[in-house]
């Protein structure tokens, strides 16, 4: 008797099961980087949902065009898919996201996958200009939230989890201690630089309760983070003309000609919860 083929479920089910196996919500991406296992894990629900969406696009295409019924059958067509998407005129940013999503689920290296064009700042659309969702959010009706975001630069997930008791006084100076909702589970202490009196009074008034009951979907948190990052950089930036070459960061590509203070960039990056100055040069510092 022929051996009965094991049922794997639909392609969509296979995608979800594979991504579910990589979930590492709450684990520290920072520490996993030290032992080189970050490629095997997904640390945030936002990344999970993004990868799920883009992998579903791919497997549906592979099924319709090549009658694929399993992830293994889809795998040989990954590069054809990326070339197809590039011809469709997708932005370099979206192509990079799709490439990352496919590498994650199929456990392949960047050397094995089609090389899309390098991203440039002009291709990044997030928080540039007015978006449709912005019309459904009133800053005047959420003044405390907006003021808080611009003064602290916290992520949406961090804002959702923040409590009044996360305000700490360290060596006589006020800090916000982030230990929940952070990207990759990494903790950090953020010194208060802007709107000190407002932040301290606001957080102390909340006690052990969460600072905000709800963060409106229309609130452009990334834009507020960019404003905060820019202000932190300007707060610490030294006179570029007086700095040695080793302490200057020279931008490239579409930002060529712009020069920043490396030390101020690193502090701004760390306050945001990053640790790379090139990230804020391309995505956060404005003007």
Report the chain's mean pLDDT, rounded to a whole number.
86
Neighbours of 180 (CB within 10 A): 15
What are the residue ranges spanned by the domains of the chain?
11-119, 123-137+219-287, 150-216
Q: Is 186 exposed, middle or buried (0-12, 13-18, 19+ CB in 10 A)?
A: middle
What pLDDT band is residue 132 in, cutting at 50, 70 and 90?
A: very low
Q: How confident is the model at residue 136 (pLDDT cuts 50, 70, 90)?
A: low
Reply yes or no on whether the pLDDT at 4 is more than 50.
Answer: no
- Residues 83-109: tens digit of each pLDDT: 999 888 887 878 889 999 999 999 888
Of the candidates 26, 49, 29, the one whose C-alpha atom is nearest the C-alpha of residue 40 is: 29
Residue 124 has pLDDT above 70, yes or no: no
Sign of CA dihedral 150, 218, 154, 267: negative
Instruction: Give the pLDDT score at 3.
Output: 41
271 or 282, greater pLDDT: 271
* Residue 197 confidence class, pLDDT cut points 50, 70, 90: very high
Give 276-284 contacts, CB < 8 A, sequence gap 24+: 277/249, 280/229, 280/233, 281/249, 281/251, 281/255, 282/121, 282/124, 282/255, 283/121, 283/124, 283/226, 284/225, 284/226, 284/229, 284/230
- Reported pTM: 0.60
- Asked if pLDDT for residue 67 goes beyond 90, the answer is yes
170 against 115, higher pLDDT: 170
- pLDDT tens digits for 29-60? 778 887 878 888 998 888 899 999 999 999 99
């Amino acid at each position: 008797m022929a051996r009965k083929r094991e049922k794997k479920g639909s392609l969509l089910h296979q995608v979800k099961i594979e991504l579910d196996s990589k979930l590492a919500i709450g684990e520290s991406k920072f520490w996993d980087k030290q032992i080189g296992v970050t490629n095997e894990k997904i640390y945030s629900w936002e990344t999970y949902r993004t990868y799920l969406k883009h992998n579903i696009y791919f497997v549906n295409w592979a099924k319709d065009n090549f009658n694929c019924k399993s992830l293994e059958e889809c795998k040989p067509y990954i590069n054809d898919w990326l070339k197809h998407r590039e011809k469709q005129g997708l932005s370099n940013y979206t192509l990079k996201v799709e490439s990352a999503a496919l590498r994650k689920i199929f456990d392949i290296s960047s050397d094995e996958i089609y090389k899309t064009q390098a991203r440039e700042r002009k291709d990044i659309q997030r928080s540039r200009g007015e978006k449709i969702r912005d019309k459904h959010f009133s800053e005047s009706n959420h003044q405390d939230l907006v003021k808080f975001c611009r003064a602290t630069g916290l992520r949406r997930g961090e804002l959702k989890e923040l409590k009044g008791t996360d305000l700490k006084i360290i060596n006589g100076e006020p800090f916000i201690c982030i230990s929940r909702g952070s990207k990759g589970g990494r903790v950090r202490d953020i010194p208060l630089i802007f709107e000190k009196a407002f932040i301290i009074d606001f957080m102390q008034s909340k006690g052990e309760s969460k600072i905000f009951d709800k963060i409106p979907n229309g609130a452009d948190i990334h834009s507020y983070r960019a404003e905060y990052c820019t202000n932190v950089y300007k707060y610490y930036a030294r006179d570029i003309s007086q700095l040695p070459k080793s302490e200057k960061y020279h931008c490239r590509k579409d930002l060529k000609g712009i020069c920043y203070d490396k030390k101020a960039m690193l502090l701004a990056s760390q306050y945001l919860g990053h640790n790379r100055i090139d990230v804020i040069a391309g995505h956060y510092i404005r003007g």
